Amino acid sequence: MSNPSLLVLAGDGIGPEVMAEVVKIIGWYGDKRGLHFAVEHDLVGGCAYDAHGTPLTDATMAKAQAADAVLLGAVGGPKYDSLDFSVKPERGLLRLRKEMDLYANLRPAQCFDALADFSSLKKDVVAGLDIMIVRELTSGVYFGEPRGIFKEGNERVGINTQRYTESEIARVARSAFELARRRGNKVCSMEKANVMESGILWRDVVTEVHQAEYADVELSHMYADAGAMQLTRWPKQFDVIVTDNLFGDLLSDLAAMLTGSLGMLPSASLGAPMENGRPKALYEPVHGSAPDIAGQGKANPIACVLSFAMALRYSFDQGDEAARLEKAVEQVLADGVRTADLLGEDGRTPVSTSQMGDAIVAALDASLT
């Protein structure tokens, strides 16, 4: 049987630096655990525009469709700000999400004990935090029509349309309920049913799916603005949060900072199962391309590493090996190894991007003894 395939799209800015550490870890799994992957590299984002005049070529899109999973670093940077909207680096990422139909974005927010002091909230509020936000990713206001900037009379009008179908809501709700069954068995659905018709439909459909298929899972509903407040008041009340594209974008970034650093947080975007039974999937860190530190060896690779751990769990049914990698990261942090973004005021010297990767590999080695 052929090895599972991984398409690596390192992207722009710090993307290639953090992805190099993931490739190092992929190699470790082949050498030490017999988990071999067929890895192919290609371009996305600004580097693809520089090479081909488009942020994602049709050939790369075809490779992504065929791969068992896609690993992405980051895209964008100020040098591309003046490009036409249609060819901005981010359009490559949006095309991947849309054409692969990656409708469920999984954004964990986990606070490692060693980093609890880095949160802007009190330690007792965030210590041990482990929640999952499931964001609908391929519909809603980012994709709805009509959209654009139009002239009405003597002024311009910007229009974006919030649009959801029953089936789009139902499938992301099922993803959330399935995840909850493997976690704390609790889902909170967030929308704005008090002021938006799409919110009313969202609440109705999530309730219908729950009653018909997942009555064993505890379901609650909350307005998204109230949910933002509750995430900062007592985030550990939640297990799985499911919400739409716009609110999910906002709430997941809010939850990210509860943990202390965007450089720590992975994500998975999952779609329908392929012929081999695996879901179409793209894994990427939450952070951006950070062009201000690109090429300096300062980037924290942990979010990208943990994104690969999610790939092990959700695309390759290697939950034990995913846990091994996550525990290795936790051990490295407990040992006090820090990139610059994780340093407090204790005067320690930060490690480089590659040194953090080496430390994680060493912890993986230690897990075998």
| Positions marked active-site | 142, 192, 225, 249, 253
User: What phi, psi does 222 have (nearest 5°)?
Assistant: -150, 140
DSSP character at residue 212 = H
- Report d(CA 37, CA 315) in Å as an integer: 12
List beta partners, residue 270: 104, 281
Could you tell me how many residues make up the chain?
Answer: 369
**Residue 122 burial by CB count (10 A; 0-12/13-18/19+): exposed, middle or buried?**
exposed
- Report d(CA 292, CA 62) in Å as an integer: 32
Helix axes 319-334, 15-33, angle to 10 degrees: 120
Does residue 187 sit in helix, strand or coil?
A: strand
- Report d(CA 300, CA 145) in Å as an integer: 38
Does residue 352 sit in helix, strand or coil?
A: coil
Contact (Cβ atoms closer than 8 angstroms) between residue 64 and residue 96: yes
For residue 363, the surrounding DSSP H or E stretch is: helix 353-366
Contact (Cβ atoms closer than 8 angstroms) between residue 253 and residue 145: no
DSSP character at residue 9 = E
- Tell me how far apart the 2 most distant CA atoms of the chain are, in Å: 73
For the chain, state the CA radius of gyration: 20
Nearest of 256, 265, 255, 257 to residue 190 by alpha carbon: 255
To 5 degrees, how large is the angle CA 168–CA 170–CA 173?
110
